Amino acid sequence: MGNNDWLEAKGEFDKDGYTVRRSFLDKAETEDVIENLYRYIKDVLPTVPPENAFYEDKEDPSTLKQLPHMQAHDPYFDRMLMDSKFRQLAETLLYGEVVPKNAQFLCKPPKVGQATPPHQDGYYFMIDPVEGLTMWLGLDHADEGNGCLRYVRGSHRKGLRDHSRTQTLGFSQGITDFGTEDDLANEAVYTASPGDLLAHHALTVHRADANRSADRPRRAIGFVYLSTRAEERTEDLAQYRSNLAKDLANKGRI
């Protein structure tokens, strides 16, 4: 990205609460990520704790949905999170130094990939102030048929909304009153190609439909960065993660 691209991304992010960077990685770079993802699943995944892999159906490996904190188990994904242009972009968008928190695989498997409920990532982050972002790097073509992302423009300027329990794996909380006139008027749908990057503020309302396709996965690598100005509510976060892990284990999802 040149200087003008960085400025454009920052302007979009400040105005809309997200930015879309087409071909952030070129074809060769994207293929390298996919090859290392395959390697991680084959060689590293069998060695990681069970709470670091979510399945729609644990008995069916093809329903793998999420691999959080890959950076903790593999140097390739650690470099992607810690020392890369992803981090550089995060520092541009968040006006300063960031704390890299998570590199994760995200997938909506064909037929069984559930809808992602409308939510704000800041609700899960449990930080004050809510200054952070999530990046989504596409590894497949994503469209309305297999669950592309939907953002509500400007929602990052309106604070954290009420959330309540959902039954969606990996997204245990969703916005209780989503669907207001403002939500519907400002929601935008974003298709993506492999190598495209979408980055959104922790307060930006977003969601995605289910994967209704017969044979098209919707795979991505996600990155989470927090501003150094944000402080985690560590006790609340630990309790949330503990409760979530117990719930997922009881349901046979991890």
In the prediction, which pLDDT does 56 show?
Answer: 87
Based on the number of CB atoms within 10 Å of its own CB, is 41 exposed (0-12), middle (13-18) or buried (19 or more)? middle
- pTM above 0.85? yes
Which of 32-46, 128-142, 169-183 bottoms out in mean pLDDT, i.e. has the lowest?
169-183
In the prediction, which pLDDT does 187 show?
Answer: 98
- Asked if pLDDT for residue 245 goes beyond 80, the answer is no
36 is in which domain, residue-wise? Answer: 3-250
Arithmetic mean of pLDDT, 226-242 = 80
- Provide the number of structural domains found in the chain: 1
In the prediction, which pLDDT does 254 show?
Answer: 57
- Under the banding of pLDDT at 50, 70 and 90, the label for residue 51 is confident
CATH code: domain of residue 121: 2.60.120.620
**Tokens in use for 24?**
């952030």
